Structure 1
Amino acid sequence: MADVGGWSTIESDEGLFTSLIETLGVKDTQFEELISLDADTIRSLGPVYGVIFLFKWTRETNSARAEVPLDGTYDQTAPDNLFFAAQTIQNACGTQAILSVILNHDNPASPQPAITLGDELRSFKEFTTGFPPELRGEALSNSEAIRTAHNSFARASPFADETARPQDDEKGADVYHFIAYTPVNGTLYELDGLQPYPISHGECGSGEFPEKVIEVLQRRIARYPPEETHFNLMAVVRDPRERAREIGDVETLEREEREEGCVAVGEYVETA
C-alpha cells in the first residue's frame, strides 16, 4: 500500500458524490441515499447501476487478502471488460468504489441506458483496459485529474479511511471502508479494492439486482454485533429528470427541476 500521496478523505454524501462525478464529466447520473434495506426502494429508483456501501472495517468481519472471501467466491477469471482495481493508495476508497460502478456501465449489455463518461474517464478506462488490478490501482492513484476532482470535495469527515491507519482497529479507533456492488455481464459483483479479485455473488439477470444485492447486504450486516449501526448505502441511478423526459412525465420533471434549483440556491448562500 502506497502512502497517502496527496489524497484526502471525503464524506459519504450523495450530493457530494454526484458533484464529484459531474466534475469528472459524467452526465445524467446521480447518487441517492437508501434509508432502508428493501428491494422495492431500490427498484423505485430504477434504472439502478449499482450501490456504494460504507461500513465499519474490522479484522473479524472482513477477509481482505484471504484465500477465500467470507461470502461469495473470488472470480479469478473475470472478463476483460470488468473494471476492477486494487486499492494502492490511502483515502481513495470512496472514489474507487464510485468508479467501480461508473466504469462498468458506460457500455452495458443490459437494456438500461449507458452512463455517459467524460473525456477524462473515457481515456482513463481505455488506457487501463487489460491491466491487472494492481496496475489499474496504480494508474488510478497517479491520475492527476481524478485526484484533483476527489480532493476538491475533501471535508472533515467522521469516517477514517481503513487504509490510512491499518492498526487503529487494534487500538479501539473506528475505521471505515467503501465498496461497490454492481451487476456486470449477468453476474452480481462485489468490487472491493482491498480484495485480490472481484467477488462473484452469482447470476444476476436483468431486473434481479434489487433482490440479489439486498440478500448479500443482509448477510454482510448480520456478521456484525446487533449494536453496530454505522452503515451507509447509496444507489447509483440515472438522473430522474432524464427518465421523466424520456417518458413525458412533466410533473416529475418540474418537481425535480424545482428541487435542483433549491439545492443550487442553498449551496450559493452557504458559500457566500
Structure 2
Amino acid sequence: MSDEESGWHLTESDPGVFTELLKSLGVPYIVDDLYSLDPDSLAALQPIRALVFLFKWLPQSDTEPDPSLSSGSGAQYDPDFPGFFAHQVVNNACATLAVMNALGNIPSLPSGPQLQELFSFTTGMDAQTRGLVITSSDWLREAHNALSPPSAISLDGLGLPKTSEDAYHFIVYMPAMGCVYEFDGLKSHPIRHGVYEEKGEGWIAKAREVVEARIATYPQGSLEFSLLALREDPLPIIQSRLKQLQDAGRGNDSEAAELFVRLSNENSKRERWAFENSVRRHNHLGFIHALLVAMAKAGKLQPAAEGARTKMQERIARRKEVGMDLDE
C-alpha cells in the first residue's frame, strides 16, 4: 500500500519529530536519542517511561524463531493483557502507533482532550478495532504527517523499474503491571518479558537485558536499529529547582551552576529541534525549480546533468566490480 493509499507517511526516527508529536497530543513528555544502555547514561534521563526501538523489519516464515521471544527472559505472548494494545492496520503508521501503545499504558497520563477522548472511546475494544479507530482518526493522522509531508513528485506511471527498499518498524518496551512488556502492532498480542525488581534501576534493568538480547540478533557493528527514550520533560524540574536555589540565596553555588548547564543544553536541543522541524515542514519544490531554471539560463544545467550521469555510471561500474547489484 502506498503513502497515498494509506494516508500515513513515513516517520523519521528523530527525537525532535517524536517530541513534536507528543506536544500535538498535549503530552508534556519528550523523546531523546539513546546511544548507550549503561546505567549512568540511562540514569541521567530518568524518569524514563518507555523505550522506542526502531529496527529493520524482515519477513519471517513459520519455522523461523521469533526474535522477540529469544531474549532468554521467558518471554511469551500475553493474550489476556488488560491494558491498551492496538494493531497496526495500515502502512507507515507504526511510529504513532508505538507512541499510542506506550501512552495508553502510562497511569494518570497528562494529555490533551482529543487524546483523552480517543483512549476513552477505545476502552474495551480488541486490538484490531483499536488499530482501525486510531488510523481512522483524521486529527491524529494530520499530527503524524505534520513533519513528514508527502513527496511533491511522483514517479508512478513512468514505467521505471521497481527497486526494493528496506522496511523499518517501531516497537515499544515499557513497564506494565510489574513486568516489562513489548508492544508491537504487527504481533497478535503484547509480549511479556517477565517481572522486574522495584529496587535499583527498576524496570530499566530488565528492559536492558531484553533490548541487548534483541540487538545481539544483528550482525556485530550493525546500524540497522536505533533506540529512543520516552521521558518526562526535565525543563520544569530544572527551572523549579533553580528558582528554589535562587530564592534561598544559593544561585551561585555548584548545584545551581550544574543546573544552569543542564538548562542551557536542554534549551539548545529544543532550538535545534525547532529549526530541523521547520525545515521538514517547508516545501522545497519551489526553490528546486527556481535553482534549475537559473542553472539552465546560465548554461550550467546540461553540464551538471552530464556530470551526474557520469558519476552514476562510475558508481554502477564500481558496484559491479565488487559483485553488488544496484538494487541491493
TM-score normalised over the length of structure 1:
0.80
Aligned-residue CA RMSD (Å):
3.2
**Structure 1 partner of 2:271:** 262
Check conservation: 2:147, 2:277, Cα contact below 8 A. Answer: no
- Say which of 110, 114, 125 aligns to 1:116: 110
- The yes-or-no answer on 1:181 pairing with 2:162 is no
For the residues of structure 2 that align with 1:61 and 1:229, how far apart are their CA atoms? 24
**Which stretches in structure 2 are left out of the alignment for 5+ residues?**
152-161, 243-255, 284-328
1:185 shift after superposition: 1.6
Check conservation: 1:241, 1:252, Cα contact below 8 A. Answer: no
For residues 178-224 of structure 1, give each alpha carbon's deviation from its aligned partner in whole angstroms, at most 9, with x where no partner exists.
00001012110000000000000011243422221111111111222
**Structure 1 partner of 2:97:** 96
Tell me which moved more, 93-102 or 224-233: 224-233
Greater helix proportion: 2
- Say which of 191, 207, 216 aligns to 1:213: 207
Check conservation: 2:50, 2:229, Cα contact below 8 A. Answer: yes
> Among the aligned pairs, what percent are the same residue?
34
**Structure 2 partner of 1:20:** 21
Distance 1:186 1:252, change over 3 A: farther
Distance 1:47 1:269, change over 3 A: closer
Distance 1:20 1:146, change over 3 A: same
**Which stretches in structure 1 are left out of the alignment for 5+ residues?**
108-114, 158-167
For the residues of structure 2 that align with 1:199 and 1:24, how far apart are their CA atoms? 26
Check conservation: 2:78, 2:192, Cα contact below 8 A. Answer: yes
For the residues of structure 1 that align with 2:164 and 2:6, how far apart are their CA atoms? 26
**Structure 1 partner of 2:227:** 233
For the residues of structure 2 that align with 1:104 and 1:18, how far apart are their CA atoms? 18
TM-score normalised over the length of structure 2:
0.67
**Structure 2 partner of 1:44:** 44
Equivalence map 1:1-272=2 (5 Å): 4-27=5-28, 29-60=29-60, 69-71=69-71, 72-79=75-82, 82-107=83-108, 115-154=109-148, 173-206=165-198, 207-226=201-220, 228-248=222-242, 250-251=259-260, 254-256=263-265, 258-259=267-268, 262-263=271-272, 266=275
For the residues of structure 2 that align with 1:219 and 1:172, how far apart are their CA atoms? 28
SS in 1 for 2:131: helix
- Which structure has the bigger radius of gyration? 2
For the residues of structure 2 that align with 1:116 and 1:197, how far apart are their CA atoms? 26
For residues 103-156 of structure 1, give each alpha carbon's deviation from its aligned partner in whole angstroms, at most 9, with x where no partner exists.
22142xxxxxxx411111111001111111011111111111111100111158
Check conservation: 1:240, 1:253, Cα contact below 8 A. Answer: no
The one-letter code matched in structure 2 to 1:185 is: M
For the residues of structure 2 that align with 1:257 and 1:40, how far apart are their CA atoms? 18
**Structure 2 partner of 1:163:** none
1:254 shift after superposition: 3.8
